[in-house]
Structure 1
Amino acid sequence: MRIALLPTLILLAFSPLAHSQTPTPTMPPAAAPAADPSKPLATVNGKEIPALYGELVKREMAQGQPDSPELDARVRESLINLELLSRAATDKGLDKDPRLAAALDIRRKDQLAKAYLEDYIKAHPVTDAEVQAAYDKAKAGPIEPEYRARHILVSTEAEAKKVIADLGKKAKFETLAKKMSKDPGSAKNGGALDWADRRAFVPEFSEALASLKKGETTQTPVKTQFGYHVIRLDDTRQPKLPELNAVRDEIVKQLQQQRVRDAVTAARANAKVE
């Protein structure tokens, strides 16, 4: 079970290792003692820090880095700082703050919920038959076409109408896009957008795009949350469904997400919520 620990920057800031500006080859940071599950990682004012704490924090702090004495030392120093500062907070009565107590309770319940869901997924693993069935269902169903379009994004309806009028006077779409479009990602390419199906666009843009035939341009401005668009459909294509092996991991993730929804539904079914 993986337990997520939010990085606490203040701990690293107070760590002696964090203040080392220039590494000294002949004086490397002292490594923490080798982790022994039966022994504490450190003892602070008589309070033992379990080695398990070090394992959990080390997993988060590593961020893909290889194991090293320096990392062990950072983990140990961070946990010592954590113990000292949390004790100082308790001595000051900060642990009695209702908001802090609520935050700690939410964090605890969040970890428990994650542990339960991991256990549920492990107890209800996705089978090869389910993966194949999901793939076959997608293969048998309609596949959303992909569109290759261009657009010009402007701030006002009046500007969009002027663009449409200029296009009617044989102005080049690509030239107007480079000159007038406020979409920096596509303007430099003459308004060209990557191949995508309708789900990649906001609803208003998607509906306008789907209404066009190849080579057509919208004759009225298309208003979205970004401004006003003039859209031209350059081409469409029917994508091929990838081979099962290429999408197996994605299908497994989707089915695991369904497992999570099933677990939540089952939990709520027997709950009294007022």
Structure 2
Amino acid sequence: MRKLLTLSLLAATLAAPAFSAQGIQVNGTLVPQARVDAFVKQMTAQGQPDSPELRNAARDRVVMTELLRQEAVKKGLDKSPEYKSELENVQSALLANLYVRDYMKSHPISEAELKAEYEQMKSQMHQKTYHARHILVKTEAEARAVIDQLKKGKKFEDLARARSLDTGSKDNGGDLGFVDPAQLVPEFANVMTKLAKGQITQTPVKSQFGWHVIQLVDSKDADFPPFDQVKAQLEQQVQGKRFDAFLNQLKTQAKVQ
């Protein structure tokens, strides 16, 4: 029994791939450790934590891929037209991706460019946000009836809960909270931004959704994140614009028939 167990362990040892600092020996073929490291890097980039379990899984994946590659070579698939065609596609995509990375590295974005992009973003954002309520109904006549009831002392919140068709705000008395006018349909935003604090529209406002009665509760200066908080996002944005311009230049100069 002991002899059989020893032979089994020996056979398992001989069959298992050998691991070293240089890589993994699989049936006498050395698979570089860099291939395992690349798989680990890919997984950690997708959010998986680096761990012994992940590295073991990476080694298993690399070993299995190498075993399948060896079987494919034995069958002559590396000489097939399909392999050669797919290999050309992979090589083209790889070289293109390497060029993109090299372009980004050799064309760094300056601090001045990032700050200019930041100021442009700020200028495009509304300087104020508005806290509004509204009551949405189907017809102009219904909206005028709501306005009449408000003039007689009915509470805006109560009428919104009873009559508004906007299911997202009616239970809150028509309250939309603080909103950027750019997030609203223009007909609504144009009227809302002209109201004084506490004022209610005296004529119904028509939009694609129906007829609105609007109350401006309050307004305040818009919050804009500090430069350092959005710097990384700005860098990607500026790099993207610059590379798009470069691609367009390549297209216009290329001879494609």
Asked if these proteins are the same fold (TM beyond 0.5), I'd say: yes
SS of 2:50's partner is: coil
Instruction: Give the match for residue 39 of structure 1.
Output: 23
TM-score by length of 2: 0.63
Instruction: Give the match for residue 167 of structure 1.
Output: 146
SS of 2:255's partner is: coil
Cα 1:198–1:182 change in 2 (3 A) is closer
**Contact 1:151/1:191 (<8 A) preserved:** yes
Deviation by residue 1:174-193 (Cα, 9 ceiling, x = unmatched): 34544554544x44433333
In structure 1, C-alpha distance between the alignment counterparts of 2:236 and 2:49, rounded to whole Å: 28
Instruction: Give the match for residue 230 of structure 1.
Output: 212
Instruction: Give the match for residue 6 of structure 2.
Output: none
> What is the CA-CA distance between 1:86 and the residue it aligns to?
7.3
Cα 1:182–1:71 change in 2 (3 A) is same
Amino acid at match of 1:54: V
Please give the residue correspondences for 1:246-265 in structure 2 after superposition, counting only pairs within 5 Å: 246-265=229-248
**Contact 1:150/1:232 (<8 A) preserved:** yes
Matching of residue 56 in structure 1 with residue 64 in structure 2 = no
> What is the CA-CA distance between 1:78 and the residue it aligns to?
2.8
> What is the CA-CA distance between 1:243 and the residue it aligns to?
4.5
In structure 2, C-alpha distance between the alignment counterparts of 1:117 and 1:149, rounded to whole Å: 47
TM-score by length of 1: 0.60
Please give the residue correspondences for 1:161-200 in structure 2 after superposition, counting only pairs within 5 Å: 161=140, 164-168=143-147, 169-170=149-150, 172-178=155-161, 180-184=164-168, 186-200=169-183
In structure 2, C-alpha distance between the alignment counterparts of 1:109 and 1:39, rounded to whole Å: 27
> What is the CA-CA distance between 1:126 and the residue it aligns to?
0.8
In structure 2, C-alpha distance between the alignment counterparts of 1:66 and 1:211, rounded to whole Å: 51
In structure 2, C-alpha distance between the alignment counterparts of 1:124 and 1:144, rounded to whole Å: 32
Amino acid at match of 1:39: G
Counterpart among 113, 116, 138 of residue 99 in structure 2: 116
Structure that is richer in helix per residue: 2
In structure 1, C-alpha distance between the alignment counterparts of 2:71 and 2:210, rounded to whole Å: 57
> What is the CA-CA distance between 1:258 and the residue it aligns to?
1.9
**Contact 2:23/2:34 (<8 A) preserved:** no
**Contact 1:181/1:191 (<8 A) preserved:** no
**Contact 2:135/2:165 (<8 A) preserved:** yes
**Contact 1:151/1:192 (<8 A) preserved:** yes
In structure 1, C-alpha distance between the alignment counterparts of 2:43 and 2:211, rounded to whole Å: 46
Deviation by residue 1:203-237 (Cα, 9 ceiling, x = unmatched): xx1343123332344714421xxx54636252433
In structure 1, C-alpha distance between the alignment counterparts of 2:248 and 2:237, rounded to whole Å: 17
Cα 1:129–1:159 change in 2 (3 A) is closer
In structure 1, C-alpha distance between the alignment counterparts of 2:145 and 2:81, rounded to whole Å: 68
Identity of aligned residues (%): 27
Cα 1:80–1:150 change in 2 (3 A) is farther
In structure 1, C-alpha distance between the alignment counterparts of 2:29 and 2:160, rounded to whole Å: 67
In structure 1, C-alpha distance between the alignment counterparts of 2:183 and 2:81, rounded to whole Å: 48
> What is the CA-CA distance between 1:123 and the residue it aligns to?
0.8
**Contact 1:143/1:238 (<8 A) preserved:** no
Cα 1:108–1:35 change in 2 (3 A) is farther
Deviation by residue 1:45-97 (Cα, 9 ceiling, x = unmatched): 66654433322221233344443221111112233444566788996x8x977
Matched residues, number: 224
